[in-house]
A and B are shown apart, each in its own frame.
Chain A
Amino acid sequence: MSTDPSPILTQASPQSVVNNFSITVGTENGSGSQTSNLTLLRAFFKMGIPVSGKNLFPSNIQGLPTWYTIRLSKDGYIARSDTTEIVIAMNAKTFARDLALVEPGGVFFYDDDIKQPIQRKDITVYPMPVKQISVASDAPSNLRSYVANMVYVGVLAQIIQIDVDKICQALEFHFKGKQKPIDLNFNVVKSAMEWAAENLKKSDPFSVAPMDATSEFIMSSGNTAGALGSIYGGIQFAAWYPITPASSLAESLNQYLPKLRKDPKTNKNTFAVVQAEDELAAIGMAIGAGWGGLRSLTSTSGPGISLMSEYAGLAYFAEVPIVVWNVQRMGPSTGLPTRTSQGDINLTYYLGHGDTKHVVLLPGSVNECFEFGWKAFDLAETFQTPVFVLSDLDLGMNQWMTPPFAYPDKPIERGKVLWEEDLDKLEDWGRYLDLDGDGIPYRTVPGNRHQRSGYFTRGTGHDDYANYSEEPDQWVNNMDRLNQKFELARTAVPDAELFPNDGAKIGVIAFGSVDPAVKEAQDLLLSEEIAVDYLRLRALPITAKVREFVRAHERVYVVEMNRDGQMHQILTIEIPDCAMSLISLPQNDGLPLTATWIENAILNKERN
């Protein structure tokens, strides 16, 4: 599928590899390498090269090994790659392991302070005098370990020919234009480049060259995008409790709300954000606010979702609109809190005791985190129910190239809310009275001063007028009406997206952050002469399109990042007549899924 973008080759050699390789940097957590890694990522992006970066970090503040992988792909593949052609080793503790990572023919850069044997003959090896260069920089001694990481940026830049201006741009962005740190870091990059120019002889085939494949994109994270989307969705209230990998969503609300949501006339806030004492309180506050008529959100990860379970069930039953973001991490228990997973599908879909099920949105890109950020409120208020957005650590915390955020193309939809003048016109109103026959009743909110506006919200059985009731029929009717709403929501959630391949008889269903890996796997499989149609789920409950897709294929592989094939379970329950043609392909090791894993998993099944 690739058409070479004809980069300007500076080192024409038959084997030269341009804009098509992966880099892994091994450092120590807390050593400040994040600035260097993001600088590289952003420089490549500004050179116009499709790129992705993934932080594979430990649950630790300082000291444990951490890796950052960057993939450059002239063909636009941004999933994590299984192989790494260039390795930069800055951590003595993982030196041997990092050395073994390098693909044959690849490159190994290392901090020359690390005195460990290098026996591989199939790779190019470049030592870097990290200490020497960072000491020579005018960095104050307390910042020296931070700038030490800039040494590898400079050496790499020289060897693979990264555009220095782009590095500068990346640093300017990172330090928000503050000249002192920009200069400090940039000087180290420059001296490292000079040192490399004088002392290293290029003997490897890898280089980068400008392209024009990223100008239509921005770079952001899913959590930033989710927060911004919520702000454009008119969020008025958020309550949260810190947890990796969800914290930066609420922190982004705190960052952008004051910019975007101060009343221009009065300079007053049209929002409130509360850091709660725990997730029990966070969702309680969010439900109070949603019930009170505010567009209300809470954001958390698996452990928090577990704590929110009881209140989520009440919100479903009492028909309170709220939006809950679950930025998934690896469980059960504390699990691997800094690793990614899609292990909360069942938990979230059915959160609560008794008969509960929820509308769940499944963003597949950073841009879609923005889109679902605002759409979630419209759905929650339209259907008067909690709406969950299931993101994950990879999507939420990593920087991705993504199309620019698009202004909402629909007006804010606040659903059936009655104010004083509406009640004047309505003779018979009951909070749970289905006046329209669509299962969605009309609600009033506190502050409505009409004499008939007030009602009592409860978790106990109730009649159409919200009065306490233990009547069996009333219970059943009410639960049926909730189900009717759910079925209606099925027709209103974002529909699945089809990526077809000519003549495909088999299909793949996936969702969320695995999307780029599945698309790449489609191409890989095609080169093996296996055409696969891919359907990307964007929400639960599944839509008619999903059923049709499954029915139209001989076999459908369900690819997801958990052990038990949770989405596969849901699909077999919802499409029982096709249960035998749905094949589960789960994988859950904490790392973002790769195309080759998917390719091999499908090849294994297809060729057996």
Chain B
Amino acid sequence: MAATLSPKVNLVDLSKADYRGATTTLCQGCGHNSITSQIISACYDLSITPEDIVKFSGIGCSSKAPTYFLSRAFGFNGVHGRMPSLATGALFADTSLTGIGMSGDGDSASIGMGQFKHVMRRNLPLVYIIANNGVYGLTKGQFSATAEEGLNLKGQGQNQYMPIDIVWEAVISHATFVARSFAGDPKQVRELLKAALSHRGIAVLDIISPCVTFNNQDDSHHSYAWGRDHEVALHDLSYVPVAEEIMVDYDDGEAKEVTMHDGSRIMLRKVDKDYDPTDRANILCMLEDANRRQELLTGLIYIDTEQESLFDMYNLPDEALNRLTPDRIRPSRESIDEINALMF
């Protein structure tokens, strides 16, 4: 390549390097690293200005990940299991920002289950990623609540309890965008991320993200091998930004199109059988069937683009609340007499 060529840039004149973060300190091969790369790619591809993103996380290896992408964006690494509340308060400050929350299966399905469920019903605009590895990585390999019954782990014995299904929980808590993916399927992760970034409301991505150190044996449901062998994609998904034409020609009935709030589209090309991700009632049966067949069902499982987002419910001004000048947040001097008169 000629030395004079400038690095490749996107529509906002940024190179991929502008989307990177600090060097990862996670284990080599950890699924969380591959999710991190796809976040960088998705934001780069969508030409998002890093300052328009705010990152949030709880505690865990997965929750460390926000340090490793978009170092120009603001970020807040909160306490274990309480990322959703942090994001809720922070995003009220400037609702034009896009939030990315990074969590783990321990962070969201155990200690943070309450906040996980409640942020769904509030429909906070947030890309909520759960890097799901079936273990507590950071505390060295204990079972998490998503570990399958019967899983054997070194030093932990056999898991006796039934697993929590994050997708299932999200759907019944009225999440408006629910997807499952696999860190070993980077293209799908990236396309889902792009779609999630355009969703106005809570977008839950349950991404199976193997912990190579504590839970990657071939028969574990959160390993690379198991994922590769058992992944069944519901559709071949591609995201089409607002300004772009759809380049591929689909045959009639072959693809389903979902239009997002901002006008962008998700094209869902049929793989095996028809799947309608707007049909909420059908989801639980489908997940149950897939579980019985030991399939790792991936793709966009549910979407509702109509539901009001949290911020639509608050009659907020057009400008950011955190930019309101003091004169706009302190009532007038005259009003104090009226207030005193309202007392007895």
A interface, CB within 8 angstroms of B: 42, 45-46, 170, 173, 218-220, 224, 228, 231-237, 239, 256, 260-261, 263, 266-272, 274, 276-278, 280-296, 310-311, 314, 318, 399, 404-408, 411-412, 414, 444-451, 453-460, 467-468
Contact = CB atoms under 8 A, between A and B. Distances in A.
A278 B55 CA distance: 23
Interface string B78-110: 110010111111111110110000000000000
A470 to B, nearest CB: 12
A245 to B, nearest CB: 19
Contacts of A455: 74-75
B336 A405 contact: yes
A280 B111 CA distance: 11
B79 A263 contact: no
Given A278-B114, A292-B93, A457-B76, A285 B344 contact: no
A219 B314 CA distance: 32
B49 A232 contact: no
B114 A281 contact: yes
Contact of B51 (A231, A280, A449): A449
Interface of B: 22, 49-52, 54-56, 66-67, 71-79, 82, 84-94, 96-97, 114-115, 118, 122, 314-318, 320-324, 326, 328-331, 333, 335-336, 339-340, 343-344
A236 B329 contact: yes
A240 B2 CA distance: 61
Contacts of A296: 89
B66 to A, nearest CB: 7
Contacts of B76: 288, 291, 318, 456-458
Given A281-B118, A412-B330, A311 B344 contact: no
A404 B84 CA distance: 40
A228 B339 contact: yes
Nearest to A228: B339
Contacts, number: 218
Residue from A219, A311, A456 whose CB has the most chain B CB atoms within 10 Å: A456
Which 9 residue pairs are nearest across A and B when measured between Cβ atoms? A288-B89, A292-B93, A284-B85, A447-B94, A293-B322, A234-B329, A289-B89, A288-B90, A285-B89
A311 B93 contact: no
B323 A276 contact: no
Contacts of B318: 266, 268
B110 to A, nearest CB: 14
Contact of B50 (A224, A445, A454): A454
Contacts of B322: 236, 292-294, 445-447
B87 A408 contact: no
Given A272-B314, A276-B118, 19 more contacts: A42-B344, A219-B344, A224-B343, A237-B321, A263-B317, A270-B329, A277-B115, A280-B114, A284-B89, A289-B90, A411-B326, A412-B326, A446-B90, A451-B51, A454-B51, A454-B71, A456-B55, A457-B76, A460-B77
Contact of A407 (B56, B91, B336, B343): B336
A290 B76 CA distance: 12
A448 B51 CA distance: 7
Nearest to A460: B77
A414 B316 CA distance: 21
Given A268-B315, A284-B89, A260 B335 contact: yes
Residue from B76, B77, B87, B314 whose CB has the most chain A CB atoms within 10 Å: B76
A402 to B, nearest CB: 9
Given A173-B344, A261-B329, A454 B75 contact: yes
10 contacts: A234-B329, A236-B321, A237-B93, A239-B88, A272-B314, A276-B118, A284-B79, A310-B79, A314-B79, A457-B75
A235 B322 CA distance: 11
Nearest to B336: A407
A173 B343 CA distance: 9
Contact of B344 (A45, A406, A454): A45
A269 B315 contact: yes
A370 B26 CA distance: 50
Contacts of B71: 454, 456
A549 to B, nearest CB: 33
A604 B315 CA distance: 61
A232 B330 contact: yes
A450 to B, nearest CB: 7
Contact of B343 (A219, A233, A272): A219
A294 B93 contact: yes
Contacts of A46: 344
A314 B86 CA distance: 12
B93 A289 contact: yes
Contacts of B330: 232-234, 408, 412
